Amino acid sequence: MRRLIAISLAVLGSISSSVAAAPNLLFILTEDQGAHLSFLGTPGLQTPHMDSLAKSGVYFRN
């Protein structure tokens, strides 16, 4: 009985470790903002949080 439990745990452990982890994706959409962000070069505008997100992530332009 102990062997059966040990083998079952070993098989379950190997199955769970072989499954690839899903990537973390976060889409941020802002309403009625357009391209008015300081990291896009808009003068006189300060968007420090969006700047840091754009610097450490990926920015897609439409």
Tokens found for residue 60: 């897609």
Question: Does residue 6 lie in a domain region?
Answer: no
- Structural domain contains residue 50: yes
Task: Check: pTM over 0.85? Answer yes or no.
Answer: no
Q: Residue 8 domain-assigned?
A: no
The C-alpha atoms of residue 16 and residue 30 are separated, in whole angstroms, by 38
pLDDT tens for the 62 residues of the chain, in order: 778 777 777 777 666 555 567 778 888 777 777 778 888 888 888 889 888 988 888 877 76
Residue 11 lies in a domain: no
* Separation CA 40–CA 38 (nearest Å): 5
The rounded distance, in Å, linking the Cα atoms of 26 and 5 is: 40
* Radius of gyration in angstroms for the set of CA atoms belonging to the chain, rounded to a whole number: 23
> How many domains are contained in the chain?
1
Q: In whole angstroms, what is the distance from residue 4 CA to residue 1 CA?
A: 5
